[in-house]
Amino acid sequence: MENIDVLVLRTLRDWRLAGQRAMLVTVVRTWGSSPRPVGSTMALCENGAVVGSVSGGCIEDDLIYRYTQANAMPTGIPQFAKYGVSADEAHRFGLPCGGTLELLLEFDPDATLLVKLVKCLEAGQLMERTVHLPDGKVTQITAASPALLSVNALELVNTFGPEYRMLLIGAGQLSEYLATMAIFSGFAVTVCDPREEYRGAWNVSAARVLSDMPDDVVQAFKPDRRSCVVALTHDPKLDDLALLEALKSDAFYVGAIGSRRNAQLRKRRMVEHFDQTAQTLANLRGPIGIYIGSKTPPEIAVSVMAEVLAVKNGVPLPRDMAVGPAKDEQAVAHFDTDVPVCGAPMA
């Protein structure tokens, strides 16, 4: 599944190029709990088709009812709409208790500008889109860095980014599960493995598969702040150089599979053979994942994907969810139980 913003804008572009009336809806403010964050978008066609979302479904239904009746969709400047102001409305629209959200409705966005915007996003550019509210005029420029949506009485500024990307080193079974989860989470996935026997068994068609050496692939991949690199081969000849290249980049997540002992040995190798320091290796994650007692490849993939998403979303993970500390605490808990050891009598 591709990045939802790109999907919304591409679909809206196609509707407008086909001469259909349509509107772009953006969540611009929320109060209390809300089902979708600020910046979320959806597009609504005059025939009732919807892509994207701004709630759990009830607000979408109301927008469809209001704006797809005969001649019901306005023209002209953007309008604000607020939902959930009262307890009755919150209940009616399925909002959490106390939840309120405000939407900006843009009617019949310019198809030419949408074509340019989608083309830039598909080329991997970060784009800033500004809507001048008094007259609805839209300007689009390349953005230097990601930014949160901002809105005032004069303008709405929303930054649209290219897809998040994941580069996996190794094409084994665990990589297949992790790639599948990343794809339906909106990541574009690239898999690198120079070993033909692993590439030949690869079974996730939506992921791009490369056969070059991993460190060369990382250089060509050019990880940015919307990229993560995960090494899954357990082979230092493949993982180590690729990880070192990734650590030089702006990737938001760089990690490698393995036990705590293997993670310590990996860092020791990098210090002894590649002139690394504790500081240069500070962003290298390992063991990767959150601790959920995983033993099977699909459960390990769930664990790793959960950690990747938490880091992407800026959510600090509690210490008891980190693999190393959690295992230590579990070992202490087992050691402290009143179970006899090796048949020894209890005191």
pLDDT tens figures, 215-236: 999 999 999 888 999 999 999 9
3-state secondary structure of 96: coil
Kindly tell me if the per-residue pLDDT of 346 is higher than 50: no
Tokens (6 digits) for 192: 């690198």
Overall average pLDDT of the 107-124 stretch: 93
Q: Could you read off the pLDDT of 131-182 as tens digits, one per residue?
A: 999 999 999 999 987 788 999 999 999 999 877 899 999 999 999 999 999 9
Answer yes or no: are the C-beta atoms of 181 and 302 closer than 8 Å. yes
pLDDT digits (tens, 9 = 90+) for 58-109: 889 999 999 998 788 999 999 999 987 666 665 666 665 557 889 999 999 9
What local confidence, expressed as pLDDT, does residue 301 receive? Answer: 97
Summarize pLDDT for 259-296 with one digit per residue, the tens: 999 999 999 999 999 999 999 999 999 999 999 988 89
For residues 44 and 68, the answer to whether their CB atoms sit within 8 Å is yes
Interatomic CA distance for residues 118 and 114, integer angstroms: 6
Strand ordering across the sheet containing 137-142: 137-142, 127-132, 155-160, 150-151
Q: CA nearest 286: which of 317, 252, 255?
A: 255
Q: Is 328 within 8 Å of 335 (Cβ atoms)?
A: no
Judge contact between 254 and 228, C-beta under 8 A. yes
Q: Is the preceding omega at residue 287 within 30 degrees of 0, hence cis?
A: yes
* Both tokens assigned to 45: 């066609």
Name the token pair of 6.
Answer: 């790109």
> How would residue 330 be classed by pLDDT, with cut points 50, 70 and 90?
low
* pTM (2 d.p.): 0.70
CA contacts within 13 A on the Cβ side of 85: 5
**Residue 222 identity (one-letter amino acid):** K
Q: Give the span between the Cα atoms of 4 and 38, in whole angstroms.
A: 14
Higher pLDDT, 317 or 12: 12
pLDDT in the model for residue 342: 38
Q: Phi then psi for 207, rounded to 5 degrees?
A: -95, 140
- Which of 206, 174, 172 lies closest to 192 in space, CA to CA? 172
Neighbours of 144 (CB within 10 A): 9
Separation CA 310–CA 213 (nearest Å): 29
Would you tell me the crossing angle of helices 111-122 and 4-17 to the nearest 10 degrees? Answer: 150
Question: Tens digits of per-residue pLDDT, 10-61?
Answer: 999 999 999 999 999 999 998 876 677 899 999 999 999 999 999 877 889 9
| Residue 330: CB atoms within 10 Å | 13
Residue ranges of domains in the chain, CATH in brackets: 4-160 (no CATH), 164-329 (3.40.50.720)
Are the C-beta atoms of residues 102 and 80 closer than 8 Å to each other?
yes
